[in-house]
Structure 1
Amino acid sequence: MLTTAQVLAENNFGDTRTGGLAGPMGLFLIIALATVTVLLIRNMNARLRRLPDRFPHPTEPGRADAAVVDPTDGAVEQDSPTNAPTGPQQRRNG
């Protein structure tokens, strides 16, 4: 008759010495994740360095930058096959 300790101590997982690929595969995954993390941090630092120190304050409420020129001003309007609003309609509704 088996006791509870013998049942819990029994190895039901098969032979653990054959096909030992879990260790090397785990090491490969850890090294790959660490490499990707380092590259991601370097990329984000490079992008942050390119940002300006300060951003200009908006002069009008609701507009990000009043000095931005609208590229549609003075342009010839073309008919659109969709019912999407054009630039002047968006400004009027916004």
Structure 2
Amino acid sequence: MTFTAMVAQPPPMPDDPGGRGEDFGKSSPVGLLVLLVFLVAVVFLARSMSKHLKRVPASFDEEPAGKHEAPDGDEEPAAEEKPQEQKNGA
């Protein structure tokens, strides 16, 4: 005696390929509004960053030897400093 089981599956729906409904891939006006708000925020952040970067000095080394103010307010010339020699790795 042999038993055979038949399992029935519904045929795939051609109107709904891969579980995508009719609204798949569409955006709403709210999405456009959010996108525009993000764009405006990025523009303001970039402007602010460029203003701050313009204030950054070209080098963070100490100020060059020049005139130093004495405690009483008179300016005195600084002692001459020899330029530092860079040592090669060899």
Same fold (TM over 0.5): no
Which structure's relative contact order is higher, taking Cα pairs within 8 Å and 6+ residues apart?
2
TM-score by length of 1: 0.42
Structure with the higher fraction of residues in strand conformation: 2
Structure with the higher fraction of residues in helix conformation: 1
| Greater Rg over alpha carbons, structure | 2
TM-score by length of 2: 0.43
